[in-house]
Amino acid sequence: MITSLIRLYRDAFGGLPRLTWLLCTAAFLNRMGSMVVPFLGPYLKSEFAFTPREAGYVIGLYGVGAFLGSWIGGRLTDRIGPVRVQVLALGSAAVWMFLMIVLRTPATMIPGVFVLGVLNDAFRPGSNTAAAISAPPELRRKALSLNRFALNLGWAFGPTIGGYLVLHDFQWMFVADGLTCGIAALWLAIGLRDWNPAPPPPPTAAQRLQAPHRHDRPLRDPWFLGLMAANLCVLLAFMQYFTTGPRVFDDQHFGKDTVGWLLAINPILITMFEMPIVHVLRGRKALPVIALGSLVVGLGYLCMLLPIGIMAVVLAMVVVAGGELLQMPMLGAHVNDHAPDHARGAYNGAYGMTFTLALVLAPILGGEVYDAFGATVLWTGSAGLGLLGALGFLLMVRAAK
């Protein structure tokens, strides 16, 4: 049993080129300092006396900036290359994190949050694109999963450490986040200075005639838009655990350090199990697994309603993580398999825009629902969104047939 488990993990992580590992290390370094976003709501409440509803709108403004940043990052990736985009975005984010320490009024903090969103998410399309092209096509799903592994491993550190730092002073979360962004930028600039592949040229007219279903622009691709509509439903539910959730947990009198550990459950489980699960499912068609994962995400939020105190939250985090394990790595790889080579950055940017659109809407909708109806309706609605997303992906399976 133990020998088989060791072999599974060895096979799951094996076979990827050194280049992929170098790229994913930068993703880990960046995300290891992720503290500002999960603690932005409590920060706005503590330092600026914002109500939960007002804080939700400001966090939503971060999502607006991230939406724009993801689009810019995707376009730049197809023009200057995925590594240069990451260095530019990470270096700019590092500088801006330190500048936010001196933003001490709502009039300066609110636009500062927007700019932070732009800079933070301009990194994502370059990271995904670089990981996708760093390995042979048959290893693409594994390479993208390793990138997610690195991000989630970093996320397991970020909020957990941040929960202790903000007990002393909220300003420390900006310092830590800025330092890790800067270190990741230097890692890429030095370690991959000789690798920044230019995107392939656009297809010729003859090639377009041979593949009329291929699109240069993701926002004009009906298949891609269908996938993203279903994904948006799932993400609106998924993001409640780290947008509205910390405010709910705070009102339920969980300490900030406890909230940090609760937020770490998801990335810890993803880190432990995503690579083996992706390896086991390597021969499976993506869309049915994606639909199942979306359903499990929804079911996870129903666990929040169990009358067992903090254990209900722990169980919910575990089940939601199980859904994420099935849905998100498979969908990311499916998008990269579908995208044409010369527009991979644009597709990854548009894919990231779905996440940032959810980040705009999730705290706003979650804050409104929580303020008006309470936590029970919030978690029940999240479960319904997970089910709706699963139905959407099942319709895509039928359309594919």
For residue 76, give the CATH number of its domain.
Answer: 1.20.1250.20
pLDDT digits over 366-394, tens only? 988 998 899 999 999 999 999 999 999 99
CA 377/CA 16 separation, integer angstroms: 45
Residue 143 lies in a domain: yes
- Which amino acid is present at 171? Q
Identify whether 202 is part of a domain. Answer: no
Look at the chain and report how many structural domains it folds into. 1
Residue found by looking up tokens 């060791």 in the block: 6
What one-letter code names the amino acid at 346?
A
Query: Is residue 3 included in any domain, yes or no?
Result: no
Q: Which of 244, 342, 234 is nearest to 298 (CA)?
A: 234
Q: What is the pLDDT of residues 313-323, one digit of tens each?
A: 999 999 999 99
Domain containing residue 314: 18-193+218-400
Here the tokens at position 93 are 């984010």
The reply to whether 1 falls in a domain is no
Q: Are 333 and 141 in contact (CB under 8 A)?
A: yes
| Positive or negative: CA dihedral 323, 358, 173, 85 | positive
CB 24 within 8 Å of CB 274: no
Residue 8 within any structural domain of the chain: no
Q: Tens digit of pLDDT for each residue in 186-222?
A: 999 998 887 777 666 665 555 454 444 556 678 888 8
**What was the pLDDT predicted at 26?**
93
Tens of pLDDT, residues 64-101: 898 899 999 998 998 888 999 999 999 999 999 999 99
On whether residue 204 sits in a domain, the answer given is no
**Distance between CA atoms of residues 75 and 174, nearest Å:** 28
- CA dihedral over 153, 159, 160, 164, signed as positive or negative: positive
Asked if residue 206 belongs to a domain, the reply is no
Could you list the pLDDT tens digit for every one of the 401 residues in the chain?
Answer: 778 878 888 888 888 899 999 999 999 998 888 888 878 888 888 888 888 778 878 887 888 898 899 999 998 998 888 999 999 999 999 999 999 998 888 889 999 999 999 999 999 999 999 998 888 888 888 898 899 888 878 877 877 788 788 888 888 889 999 999 999 999 999 988 877 776 666 655 554 544 445 566 788 888 899 999 999 999 999 999 888 888 888 888 787 778 878 887 887 888 888 889 988 888 788 899 999 999 999 999 999 998 888 899 999 999 999 999 999 989 988 998 888 888 888 899 999 889 888 878 888 889 889 988 999 999 999 999 999 999 999 998 877 66
